[in-house]
Structures are given as C-alpha cells and as structure tokens.
Structure 1
Amino acid sequence: MRDDYRTISGTEKAALLLMTLGEAHSAALFSLMDDDEIREISQTMAQLGTVSSDLIERLLVEFADQVSSTGTMVGNYDNTERLLLKVMDKERVDNIMEEIRGPAGRTMWEKLANVNESVLANYLKNEYPQTVAVILSKIRPEHASRVLGLLPEPFAMEVIMRMLRMESVQKDVLDDVERTLRNEFMSNLARTARRDSHEMMADIFNFLDRTVESRFMSSLEERNRDSAEKIKALMFTFEDLGKLDPGGVQTLLSSAEKDKLAIALKGASDTLRELFFSNMSERAAKIMNEDMQAMGPVRLKDVDEAQMYMVTMAKDLADKGEIVLADSKGDDELVY
C-alpha cells in the first residue's frame, strides 16, 4: 500500500486527484488535456495500486491550499478553442479561431503589415481608390510602396492623387475601413491560408521513391481519380526543369554538384539533357557527356535521388528569388 506522501510524483498526484474527483469531473478535466497528457496520466492510474486514505486526504488538502493561493491562470489557443466548443458549433469556433490565429499583430494595421503585398494588392484593386488611399496611408511606407507597385497603373495613379489630397481621416471613416478589412479581408485570408491538401500531398509524393510513388498513385487512381489527377498536376518533377529559361538553367548549373547533375541527366529525356548541355560551355558539355558515358549503367534509385536533389536545389533557388519555376501544367509561373 502506498502511504508515504514524499514518494508521490507530480503525475501520480494528478492521477490520484482525478480518480478521487469521480467520473463526471474527471471527464471534464480530461477534455482540457492533450493526448500526451491523457496518455501519461492514464498509464500512471493503471499502475498506482492501493493508496491509503491518509495519503489521499493530504493530497486534497495540498490541492486546496494551492488553488486558493494561486493568482494566475494559463490562457492559450488550445484552451480557448476547447472552451468555445462547449458553447457553440464547430464551424463558428473554426471561423473565430482562424481569425484570431491570423497574421500576427495587435491592431488591424499591424496585422496588415504581415500580409504579403501581392495578396493585399489583389484585394485592394477591387476597392474604391479613396479606401485604398486610407489603407496605404496607415501601413509602413516600404510596405505601401510594394503594394502600390503591384496595382494596375491607372488605378495606382488614382490612389496616389487621393493620397496627395488627403487630409486627416475622420475616426468614423477609419473605423468603417478597419471593420471592413476585419470582416471581409482578414477573415477570408485566415480561411484561405490553410494549405490545399492536394498541394501538400504533391510535395510529399515528390519526395517518394519513384516505384513507391507509382504504386501509391495507381492505388489512388482506383479510389479517387480526381484527386490523383490534381496531385499529378501539382507535382514538380525533374522533367519540369525543362520549362526553365536559359538564365534559370545557368543559375541552377552554377549551384549544383557536377557529379549529381551527371547522374540526374543520365536518366533524363534527350530534350532535357540537350537543354542543360546547350547552357554549358562546349568544353564543359563535352566533359559532362564523357563522365556520363564512363559511368556505365546507373541504378534507378541513384538517378531518382540525384534528380530529387536537382529539384530541391531549384526550389531553394526559387525561394531566394534567383529563378522562377513554372507549374507542371505550364499555365502559370509559380514561385514555390
């Protein structure tokens, strides 16, 4: 029997307290915990064995003392979400949580400063020039300049003229603009900020071994052909590097390890191989060709790894703005 209070750990105290409180109160407390906490306490409960009534009484006295003396509470996103779910439906809670989890900042203007300028410009181009002028006057000049540069030129000039003529903005006008931004723009932004599930799976499929990818894709086509087609369209493959412009190919060539490039090109189409060779000096192309000939047969696994290395390298360069990648359909230019 456990009767020495000094040997009781914190987790054991929590487990004992929950058992003492009864099912209804314990269930309510468990609903506020994450899975790891529930797992740890449940495992401890199962291993407690017999505990003396004196020990339980001491535990309850200590708990009461600590609760009455504490002056702090912990508030976070998870606790807030759990509390809201008690009083309203999940869709409303999701909308509220998406908004408060949106771009960081205390005021609307601070939140707006964290919005990508192309996203903001795309929204503002459909607003009245006077409204845009008010908004641009409230955000940082460097951010405003980037947004202004992305607006259609005639519209941008209208905004500039209104900004030049603008005097102090009345508080009720500013409040209306802020309310519109919060209700229409920021809430939609938070809702659409979630990454598309097909885009996420396309990135995962990109990193799969080719035989595994082929197997998974075949199975997915049998279960959901529409999703399989969407993922295929979003996947960026080694052959998609054929859509790079000459400057992009040269930038990639200067960054890539030559031995990995040679292995990657060993399994490439003639068209893609020629694209890379045509962007090398004649001497470099000749050496690369000779190296590829000297390799002899190369394992498919090694080719896949080398080609994945080249794709990853291209995406890294695109992230830095040094090259521009096109999607696999070739419809739009996308920077990953």
Structure 2
Amino acid sequence: MSGELAMRGATALAGKQPAQMPPPGGLTREQKAAIVLSALGEEQVRQVMERLEEHEVRTFARAMSALRKVPVETLGRVAAEFAGELGKPGQMQGGTGPARAFLARFMDEAAVGRIMAEVEGGSTRSVWEKLSAAPDDALAAYLARERPQTAAVILSRLDAEKAAAVVARMGPEKARDIVTRMARAPRLDDAVLDAVGEALERDFLAAMEAQGQGASGPAAMIGAMLNNLSMDLSASLLEHLKATDEALAAQVQKMLFTFEDIPVRLEPLGIQAVIRATDTDVLLKALKLARDRQPEVVEALFANMSKRVGEQVREDLDAMGPIRAREAEDAQAEMARTAQRLIRSGEIALKPEVEEGAEEEPMI
C-alpha cells in the first residue's frame, strides 16, 4: 500500500465513530488518525510521515500522547481495513514515552525533542509564544504594575531581545529593580508556571486580543492574510480597510511585511540572513522585477552581499531570460515570508520603531 493511499485511508477512518471509545466522551479525529498511523507498518508510516508538515506531526504527537491503553476492539473498529497491520499484543500503548519513541523511528533527535517539548509543555508554552508576539509597550505597562519579582520571572521566560525591548519601555528605576531580580529569578516548577501562564492569559493576553492587538486578534489575522496576497491586491484591500476602519487599518499596517520592507525594517545582519535563506532562483526572480519597480531595494540587497556573490548574482541576472510578472511577484512575496519566518523564530529582529513625533537617538 502506498504512503499516499495510507494517508487517505487514515484520514477517512479518522472520521468514523467506533462502538466503544476510550477515553469516555469519545476519541477526537486526531486521536483516531494517530491510532491508524500507529497500526501501520513502519515503512508505510515513514511514507506518510515524510509527507506531513512539522505542525501536522506535532498534532499527531499531541493526539498519541493523550491516548492511554486502547483495546484491540477499538483498534479494529477505527482502523477497519488496516486491522491486519495491528501488533500482536491485545492493546496499543499510548502516552508521551511511546509517542517520543515512535517519532524517533522517522525523525532526527532534535526534531523529536522540539516537537515533544511543545507537546509536553501544553498550553502554557503557547502563552509564552503569544507573549513574545505582544506589543512591547503594552507588555511593559502590564509588567510595571506587577511586583518586580513576578515581572522578573515572566521576562526571564522570553528571549533576550524581547525582554530588552520591554525593559527599555519602563521607567529607569523599575527597569533596574526588575533586571536585578532577573539575576536571582528562581526556577519554578510546572504547576507554578501553569498558574503564571493562566494569569497572563486571563489578565493580559485576553485583553490584547479583544483590542485586536494580540497574536490572534483581527489585525493579526487580516495582516497574515494580506501578507499572502499579491502586492496590488493587498494594497487595494488595505486602502478599502482604511476607508471603513482607520484604527484597525493602522494596526494591520504594522502586521504587514513586504519585499520593500526588507531593507527598511531590518538591520544589515537581518538582510544578509534573508538573502542566505532564499533560494538563488527566487532571489533572481525577485531582483528582476525590483530592477524596474524598486531600484532602491535592489541597491540595498546588493550592498548586503559579498563582492563575489554580488558579481555572480549580477551576471546571472543579466543572463536571465524574460519571466512572467506573476512569477516575479511570487518570488518577492516568498522573500518577505522568509523574512517573517526568521523574525518569528528569533533568528533576526525588526529595527526598533521610532514613535511618531519622537526624535531619533543622536548618532555619535
């Protein structure tokens, strides 16, 4: 049976309802799919796993971790035509340990560790991810009202760049107090971290999302959508939004990141990282269009290449034949998405924003 057929079968079976389902209340579709995948032969599972995105593997790991012992009768009802692939024991063992061991058969140790760390971390981990995406000013104002020790614990869970940006927006005295306590921030057990995460979700993140400023608010959703549209359509929709809801449009504008933003909103090291992470064919197509439409972007990108690489890219660009404008626009959009991915992963950072009306720091 091919991996593609196995995947189709697993997907179809995931929707069937077994007569007897553990745990009480029924199995989720994801758990049913996990049961089917676990019952397949190793080579068949490998073919399926190779076709999954990492977030889909993460979903599978969560589902398998939530299972305990699944009776063979349930396996038979859920797996149907895959019954012949079931193991000899009368039960399939679920749990985080088996999930980790199962993934290790198909993925390298680092990928397994990363996925299982998120699975085992549960909802609290997502709280810290949301916090990292929260506006610096809003987070600084919230933490300034907390006890310094609490603020220190929260900031110590964020990456250094985010923590620095938040501290920079606090008063000097408060910032000194918190930074001093960060050096002595205790290592908290999971129960305490869960409680802190719940408080942040309830008291801060919920309010941010209600105002459209959170990582999953309307501004973020619309911004993510516009980032994946062509530049012309994105600009047209944003103009329409400005006419109907200027405040929301301003929030969405901050969420957008386009090809033209690469040299404007990134430091030189960030620009270089984006170039390195971009496939040469994509870079050439993006530059071909930019030569006519965005010459300043072309200049900035070449300024961040080594002399040897720059000369090679120019030669390849000159030798390039005609391409469709849509191909070039897609290439520019892909470079923008690459930059966004590197920003989200913390590998690069946006330049600090200068508030409207504020003076820039003097250069010395």
- TM-score tier (shorter): 0.3 to 0.5
Larger radius of gyration: 1
